[in-house]
Structure 1
């Protein structure tokens, strides 16, 4: 294993210390070592790199922790994928559907098809509701429910958005920020889709656009033949082979302390004790809430960061007799009669992930909070639950289920509640003003629902900033377009997004009261758990 230089006290001395070996951390590490910089990466997981983009192996079966299509509008990201994994991509057909009341609906939702499947009566009610809110929209749009109701009408919102969204997030839609909807549900014109569908039914329009005339729907995507973890294992191997980097597995962050000279001293606990890493720059993809409690000196914004929430989930993988269970890569389950939120079909991602050609492997995703009933269930009980729900949905005969495995993923999704933006902004402003050599990247590091390529781009821009020794790019401007994996042309954006304006300076910190000081110090004692919204 490659090492940075060490002083007499055993401190690992590198140019950049990186927290987390997910897509963002490994992208940064790979690009930095290519430029001759030394890096040390700590990863809490003892076995897998890749974070939520890892691929888990169980008895020869390989499965994702959530599906990860390798498609990006950024040519820089596409080029990097090709560079890291040049010979192991396969081209796969794209198919996702929504399951609701025993029927399947295309995803992204095709309005004309959806209204047809719902029947005349409910379709009429849906259109009346849609027109009502177009004529008399909600004026004060604050929540996911407000935004989606204005966009689609309350009836369609209640059918296609409310149940699934509340399954995923574990909180009422009227408590979720409208930012989530504006970010993730874009581009569909319901009226345009209905008109287009009518024209096609009359033979007047041969080119369906379903209300999305300016977009090209992604019909195929590239995918590593052994799953997305193959990409990040290759990135790790290249970092180690460079002689400039190391990846410390099973090492969790204890403290990240300023050295008083603009650099950092990071301590991490591992299976053989603690290690200390000294670095000029630090990159963190750790959850923002977790990082805030381990920084020294403790940021004044720790109080706000402590209010950030996360949603966890678990995957129950079932090994099932039968090669072709259904053609989808995944199916969204909008039915309230089962707890499962999404079902992956791993053979549809890559046949090579299934070791037996007469078998299939499906992954049922359950969204939960760490420590709640689902999270705490025994693995055997979860396998039994998943088997029963697949039978209820009519997707699998329980007699054909031969075995199962469970993988739990904490802090999978940063929660967009009504206060998240202000809380993130408070920490961002303070860190950028006081610690310009500390860089936040990735989904949890920035508390933003980034796709895999977005996370990579935040790391790519951060590396450019480190090499230039100034913030020439604003990583917070990386696109979070919901259609990124659904539409558009691969590599359409040829250049890196240039920073447009200076980052606003942090406000002068106000003097803290005695109560606030006591609360700030007590943050270190707050348990690391996800709290339910009231």
Structure 2
């Protein structure tokens, strides 16, 4: 039996804690907030339930599906996705049906787009294409017109920096198709054989998804029950402040309130990797690691239905939000009869004016934009609430994986310290991957097996890109993303301070 301490009671931490406690290990989970869930939490306002964006499971992993069914029981819900993009005042199905899309657009514009698509398709077949950035990846596959019209404004809105400064692997991971021709072939294949595309983590050709009744927070509450039933201890309002290294191992951790946890055999971090680096007195590792923040605006609309979509993307910059989710369609008992529950996702940085804007003004702004779109017919009787998430998306500037790998290599020099999860590995992954990482890590810790620290995408083709770094782009990216100046820490947080260096993978062992 091992004594294991897990920092963070999000989906990864709770799943890992429950699995290890069931195996007979002594597990403690430490959570900064006053409730569990992390990014996977549900808010209740005026009798309605809201998730911060759609928190659906799209997976064909039988082990994970059975685990979800076992945990949720009758609260496990199956849905069939219906999504759209609101583009140029037209509602376009998502995934895009090319003939439907082209049929709604200006014919001259379509001819220009088609000419570019044919040109770049031919060029890619006969010439080696180098992908310097997100901009190059998209332009090399979809042409400059589609890039300028659609991809560039949407990407700038989501990430807050110029797409030329984003790593090309961001595109290869998040855009599931390599070209319009790929879209046509895969869509046709789905139409003929009804086979969903689970080979790609982010393919829109997955129409079946699973949801928890009353929202994702209910799943986390059930996981908490599983943890406590198995003897796992969960401490709330415990914020990591510092970590002590002794004899090259993680010896103790201290909270902001001064509470000390020590004597663990294994320490698992699932909170933002930047927080762990700071606790280890290695702020130098955070220089190129930034998070994109998010403001969530929840609206209670006294109308039974606004549209028949689960969620709608808004790529144009005239709308501050990037996506609207309608929870009345989730078959999850989240809305009151005769009401609609919406969530608008608005990306920003902590330094932006929007982050500090009064809640009522954000609600007013969101309602005004929805009225302008025509999706909302009347603002009368609409109520709104705001939540903010500081670490919503890892900002994937050029070379970000190499920057993360530097932190991971340092963590690997501490044999009883492991990083995992979306936040812990600075990894833009979905919930199913978070739980799958927890399942794998629980087995590794239980059986003293080596842990992989995988930074790769779940999509097997995600990194099939030719990357050539341009130092000018990299330096521009650093300048573009706003940074907070942190004072140099003078307190010593480790008894034996190590420098980051390359090492071979080490086995997790009893201390």
The normalised TM-score by structure 2 is 0.84
CA distance in 1, matches of 2:246, 2:68: 35
User: Is 1:158 aligned to residue 143 of structure 2?
Assistant: no
Map 1:379-418 → 2, pairs under 5 A = 379-418=359-398
- Measured after TM superposition, the shift of residue 214 of structure 1 is 9.0
User: Is 1:323 aligned to residue 328 of structure 2?
Assistant: no
CA distance in 2, matches of 1:320, 1:379: 17
Preserved CA contact (<8 Å) 1:454 1:478: no
- Measured after TM superposition, the shift of residue 62 of structure 1 is 0.9
Match of 2:108 among 121, 144, 155: 121
CA distance in 2, matches of 1:457, 1:286: 17
User: Is 1:27 aligned to residue 15 of structure 2?
Assistant: yes
User: Is 1:470 aligned to residue 449 of structure 2?
Assistant: yes
Residue 205 of structure 2 corresponds to which residue in structure 1? 217
Match of 1:360 among 326, 340, 344: 340
C-alpha distance 446-98 of structure 1, shift in aligned 2 (>3 A): same
- Measured after TM superposition, the shift of residue 194 of structure 1 is 5.3
Residue 332 of structure 1 corresponds to which residue in structure 2? 313
CA displacement 1:420-453 (0-9 Å, x = unmatched)? 1221111112221x11211111111101101001
Map 1:259-278 → 2, pairs under 5 A = 259-260=246-247, 262-269=249-256, 274-278=259-263
Match of 2:4 among 16, 41, 45: 16
User: Is 1:347 aligned to residue 315 of structure 2?
Assistant: no
CA displacement 1:349-381 (0-9 Å, x = unmatched)? 235111x20111111110001131111100110
Preserved CA contact (<8 Å) 2:134 2:164: yes
CA distance in 2, matches of 1:236, 1:211: 32
Residue 10 of structure 1 corresponds to which residue in structure 2? none
Preserved CA contact (<8 Å) 1:192 1:210: no
C-alpha distance 431-194 of structure 1, shift in aligned 2 (>3 A): closer
CA distance in 2, matches of 1:36, 1:66: 36
DSSP 3-state at the match of 2:267: strand
CA distance in 1, matches of 2:407, 2:392: 20
CA distance in 1, matches of 2:399, 2:184: 36
* Unaligned 5+ runs, structure 2: 463-485, 491-511
C-alpha distance 98-255 of structure 1, shift in aligned 2 (>3 A): same
The normalised TM-score by structure 1 is 0.80
* Unaligned 5+ runs, structure 1: 1-12, 485-520, 526-534
Match of 2:415 among 436, 442, 445: 436
CA distance in 2, matches of 1:173, 1:263: 39
Residue 421 of structure 1 corresponds to which residue in structure 2? 401
C-alpha distance 218-191 of structure 1, shift in aligned 2 (>3 A): closer
Preserved CA contact (<8 Å) 1:196 1:208: no
CA distance in 1, matches of 2:173, 2:346: 23
- Measured after TM superposition, the shift of residue 195 of structure 1 is 7.8
User: Is 1:305 aligned to residue 286 of structure 2?
Assistant: yes
Preserved CA contact (<8 Å) 1:309 1:414: yes
C-alpha distance 407-196 of structure 1, shift in aligned 2 (>3 A): closer
CA distance in 1, matches of 2:461, 2:53: 17
Residue 233 of structure 2 corresponds to which residue in structure 1? 246
C-alpha distance 284-195 of structure 1, shift in aligned 2 (>3 A): closer
Preserved CA contact (<8 Å) 2:425 2:455: no
CA displacement 1:204-244 (0-9 Å, x = unmatched)? x973889989999322322111111111111111111222x
Preserved CA contact (<8 Å) 2:12 2:437: yes
Residue 80 of structure 1 corresponds to which residue in structure 2? 67
Residue 40 of structure 1 corresponds to which residue in structure 2? 28
CA distance in 2, matches of 1:369, 1:460: 33
Map 1:146-295 → 2, pairs under 5 A = 146-187=136-177, 189-191=179-181, 193=183, 207=192, 217-243=205-231, 245-260=232-247, 262-269=249-256, 274-295=259-280
Aligned CA-pair RMSD:
2.9
DSSP 3-state at the match of 1:52: coil
DSSP 3-state at the match of 1:427: helix
Preserved CA contact (<8 Å) 2:84 2:312: yes
C-alpha distance 56-281 of structure 1, shift in aligned 2 (>3 A): same
C-alpha distance 210-149 of structure 1, shift in aligned 2 (>3 A): farther
C-alpha distance 287-523 of structure 1, shift in aligned 2 (>3 A): farther
Preserved CA contact (<8 Å) 1:147 1:178: yes
DSSP 3-state at the match of 1:146: helix
CA distance in 1, matches of 2:406, 2:455: 17
Residue 46 of structure 2 corresponds to which residue in structure 1? 59
Preserved CA contact (<8 Å) 1:311 1:411: yes
CA distance in 2, matches of 1:127, 1:210: 28
Residue 8 of structure 1 corresponds to which residue in structure 2? none
| Aligned positions, number | 462
CA distance in 2, matches of 1:186, 1:249: 38
Preserved CA contact (<8 Å) 2:98 2:184: yes
